[in-house]
Amino acid sequence: MTVQVSVAIPAKNEQGNIGPLIKEIHAALVGRYQFEIVLTDDGSDDDTVNEALTTATQLGCALHVVSHVQSCGQSTALCSAVNYSQGEWIATLDADGQNDPADLPAMLEQAGKIDNPHFCIAGYRKNRKDTAWKRFQSRLANRVRQRLLHDGVPDSGCGLKVFPRATFRQLPYFDHMHRFLPALIRRIDGEIVVHEVNHRDRQMGVSKYNAWNRMWVGISDIRGVMWLIRRAKHPQVKTVQSSN
């Protein structure tokens, strides 16, 4: 079976969320695409893995679980999932259930209309289900990032994205890179498309992020991404010749 779409999910301690999420992904994609789910268990100490495997077995859904010995962070977990994926396209979403898998078919349909070999369909949570304080933080962070990086997306923190697996493999790896995928893909002349998506309340567990770690790590990372963008080269190939 040729896999068209690999749904890559980084997860840590998402027991109670991961089972329902896998059911929703299956319902959204079955019969439409040949797909697989690749879950990176990033050092969980709960029943995340067993819940995922049990759910996928009941559904007859292709699931691969990559387990880290210890937590390495979301970007590394995403890279592990992509490295073990087989699909032409990668669809990412957060494991906490706040992203809605029902948005995936429309995003994948958009992906099929893009001629550029490098692209990113980036989700935009226009109506966020977060506290007023968290929404304020995100608006401020997105404005700063947009002004400095010009990545063309209003919501870089949205976990829902679709991009070619081959494109991801051309990107430079660093911790927290998942927050800057549109900027990194634009850096290699990729096309960025913003797609409005649904956002939901977290049902189980707690967020792994807070204002402090987002702010200070984000500033440092933006400086690094700016450095990468300034040094990018975009050659125009005149011709390719062979002796035979």
Domain boundaries, the chain: 5-230
Q: To 5 degrees, how large is the angle CA 195–CA 198–CA 203?
A: 145
What is the per-residue pLDDT for 160? 96
State pLDDT tens for residues 36-51. 999 999 999 999 999 9
What integer pLDDT is reported at residue 51 of this predicted model? 98
- The pTM assigned to this predicted structure is 0.82
Chain position carrying tokens 């494109």: 167
* Residue in 106, 116, 130 with CA at minimum distance from that of residue 32: 106
Question: Tens of pLDDT along 138-184?
Answer: 666 666 666 676 677 887 788 999 999 999 999 998 888 888 899 89
Lookup: tokens for 86: 């087989």
pLDDT mean for each 10 residues of the chain (244 residues): 92 96 98 97 96 98 96 94 97 94 96 96 79 63 68 82 97 88 92 90 59 57 74 70 74
**CB-based burial, 124-133: b 16+ in 10 Å, e otherwise:** bbeebebeee
Longest dimension (CA), the chain: 65
Fold assignment, 5-230: Spore Coat Polysaccharide Biosynthesis Protein SpsA; Chain A (3.90.550)
Which of 178, 183, 186 minimizes the C-alpha distance to 82? 178
pLDDT at 212: 47
Distances (CA, A) of 82 to 36, 89, 138, 151: 11, 10, 27, 22
